[in-house]
Structure 1
Amino acid sequence: MHRNATFAALILGGAFLPAASALAASPPGQTLYADNCAACHQASGKGVKGAYPALAGTPLIQGDAKPLLSIVLNGKNEMPGFKDDMTDADLAGLLTYVRGSWGNKGKAITPAEVAAARRRK
């Protein structure tokens, strides 16, 4: 046991408990969503009617990944593209989070799929 964990176990009467941060870790992509998307699409994924589309329950989010990847990489209308701002792994995590949140049932997206979409332009 690591020295700090041993110390914590002694303080807690011998019981080893994981750190609170480990218990409350965000799903991969959630922080990226909060930092880059939630201002427009909202934390709820419901968007802003007439301004920013909903991500919750929409076919674009849950369907074929290719159109979604194109939009996120290259931008569309008011939405900026993120091809120069995020790695393939970051975008895969972000989009997997969106495709599995708010009742969405989309498949996970892999970094390899993001890389292929970058090559397609």
Structure 2
Amino acid sequence: MRRILIAAALLAFAPGCESGSDNPDVATIVALSGDATSGESLYGTHCSSCHMADGTGNPGLNYPSLVEHASKETDEEIVAIVLEGEEAMPAFRSQLSDQEVADVLAYIRATWG
């Protein structure tokens, strides 16, 4: 249940999450140095419509709160969900570069853990 909530909360993507250890892209992205300032702008463009600007999400629409859940997920889990999507959250693999995903991760970590 927790992964479902995080998935919906993490940027609004679709099904097919792969685990970080099975997806070499995840390890590559996690190793990048993300920029939280750039990530904030990207979050506003791609994520805030579902996860809200303040990260509270909308549980009634199955968009989980990042405030409550981001600190419980590993970097690898978050990146995999962003890349592949899960439940109500679409995949952003074709929309965001590796660096942009790293930037969004840096913003999520700096803001909500």
TM-score (norm 2): 0.62
- The gaps in structure 2 that reach 5 residues or longer are 1-35
Q: Match of 1:94?
A: 104
Alignment length (residue pairs): 76
Residue number among 44, 54, 64 corresponding to 1:53 in the alignment = 64
Q: Deviations over 1:40-83 (max 9, x none)?
A: 0000100012221001132xx22421111111100011111111
TM-score (norm 1): 0.58
State the alpha-carbon separation in 1 of the partners of residues 64 and 91 from structure 2: 16
Alignment-mate amino acid for residue 28 of structure 1? S
- The gaps in structure 1 that reach 5 residues or longer are 1-25, 106-121
Q: Match of 1:20?
A: none
Q: Match of 1:42?
A: 52
Helix, strand or coil: the match of 1:44?
coil
Q: Aligned-residue CA RMSD in angstroms?
A: 1.5
Q: Match of 1:109?
A: none
Between Structure 1 and Structure 2, whose CA radius of gyration is higher? 1
Alignment-mate amino acid for residue 56 of structure 1? V
Pairing of 1:15-94 with structure 2 (within 5 A): 27-51=37-61, 52-58=63-69, 61-62=70-71, 63-94=73-104
Structure number with higher relative contact order (C-alpha < 8 Å, ≥ 6 residues apart) = 2
Q: Percent identity?
A: 33
Deviating runs (4+, > 2 A) in structure 1?
Answer: none
Alignment-mate amino acid for residue 44 of structure 1? D
